[in-house]
Amino acid sequence: MYPRDRTRILEVGQARTHGLGADVYLMRQFARRPGAAVHQGHAHLGPRRVGQYRSQCADVVARVPYIHGSHPNAGTVPRPWKARRAYYGNTVVLLSTLNPDGTTNIAPMSSTWALGHTIVLGMGVGSRTATNLRERGEAVLNLPGVELWKQVERLGDTTGNTRGQVQHGHGSVPCADKFAAVGLDRQPSQTVSCDRVAQCRLQIEVRVVGAAPDADGHFLIAQTHVQMVHADPAIVVPGTSHVDPRLWKPLIYNFRHYHTLGSQVGESAITETPSA
């Protein structure tokens, strides 16, 4: 189990624009970058008028080459295809929620996305996780690295409910202590009652601000608000509140296969931690 000083609390704050309007700030960020796509002479301008930079954008698009991959069918035109489900893969999360008896349930999931300080979660309506979120309204998103994929997979065979059920296309068995069952350690949280997973190098404590079934009634969609973020200092850019993407390799659930990220191929012009 990690000692308490192993994790660092990251500040949750708004992106800094140094007092400039967003347009001006972003234009100057572009202008500072070598080979910036936006013309250097526009860096001094104020907020753009409609169509002001259209010619530059069109020129950039025209110069982007079509890249052929190594797959034998790379470059072919996509055709209509009847997929069994629309899920397309995402980062794996071990979600901690609070059981009625005060213990912590953990469940693997990957249907999450973030917008600002809001994180949206999706899970089956009949799961113990969904019930806990509706009734107690708090959770921790524990983001595992690649080394935990076997524990993640084993958790998928368990349920926090008292009776077995069919989930993820197969059966699951009741499990009162999932931490012990798969060899994970508990770590107390600071703003919520459910425990964190000590082996996860990123942990996000949240509270539910809204939850409702999806249009078909099969899934619960919960909106949560971030309360606190914890990170292993080893993956944080020194002297900042930014995770170093070169050091953090999240576990990715890609069409029911476990993957992680490869080497960097580029970076956004608005990154606050440029490589060069």
Q: Residue 66 has what pLDDT?
A: 46
Q: Residue 37 has what pLDDT?
A: 45
Mean pLDDT, consecutive 10-residue segments, the chain of 276 residues?
Answer: 44 45 51 47 47 49 50 75 78 96 94 95 91 97 95 86 59 82 96 98 97 92 97 94 91 85 86 81
CATH (one of 3.40.50.300, 2.30.110.10, 3.20.20.70, 1.10.275.10) for 84-259: 2.30.110.10
Q: Residue 45 has what pLDDT?
A: 46
Query: Could you state, in order of their start, the residue ranges of all structural domains in the chain?
Result: 16-63, 84-259
CA distance 56 to 58: 5
CA distance 208 to 240: 28
CA distance 269 to 276: 12
Q: Is 89 left (phi over 0), alpha (psi -120 to 50) or beta?
A: left
Is-contact 195 140, C-beta < 8 A?
yes
Name the residue among 118, 125, 121, 98 with its Cα closest to residue 110: 121
**pTM (2 decimals)?**
0.71
The distance from CA 230 to its chain's CA centroid, rounded to whole angstroms, is 14
